[in-house]
Structure 1
Amino acid sequence: MKKSFVLRLDDEMYKLLEKWAADEFRSVNGQLEYIINQSLINSGRKKNKTDNQSTDKK
């Protein structure tokens, strides 16, 4: 289940995020989810599913 919450961004930040999302063929919401997910993986707070799958097959 996904949770909804309010996020306030200034206009400049939103426009930059919107452009970044469009460059990667994502919605702004999808881009934010991607960025947060990658940050959680990179910080070691979340396991990368592709890493788990590759180690499970060995």
Structure 2
Amino acid sequence: MSERKAYPLRISAEVLAAMQRWADDELRSLNAQIEYVLRDALRKADRLPAPRRPPASDEQPAEPAGDA
């Protein structure tokens, strides 16, 4: 897991309340919701690589390239 850093955030009461409602709907903490939204925005802007996912059980692993 990556290192966690604390960062004070100034945010309007209206935005904070909306984020809290969204976090409640998604069963996340407010902090986790804010991080989720930031990560999603960073991925969409190609500023953060997409997370790697393991292959599904019905997918075959990729064959290694090389001489056979």
Q: Which has the larger radius of gyration?
A: 2
| Cα distance in structure 2, aligned partners of 1:11 and 1:49 | 32
| TM-score of the pair, normalised by structure 1 | 0.80
**1:15-30 counterparts in 2 under 5 A?**
15-30=17-32
Q: Which structure has more helix as a fraction of its residues? A: 1
- The runs of at least 4 aligned residues of structure 1 exceeding 4 Å deviation read none
Unmatched segments (≥5 aa) in structure 2: 56-60, 63-68
| TM-score of the pair, normalised by structure 2 | 0.70
- Equivalent pairs counted in the alignment come to 55
CA RMSD of aligned residues (A): 1.6
- Greater RCO (Cα-Cα under 8 Å, separation 6 or more): 1
Unmatched segments (≥5 aa) in structure 1: none
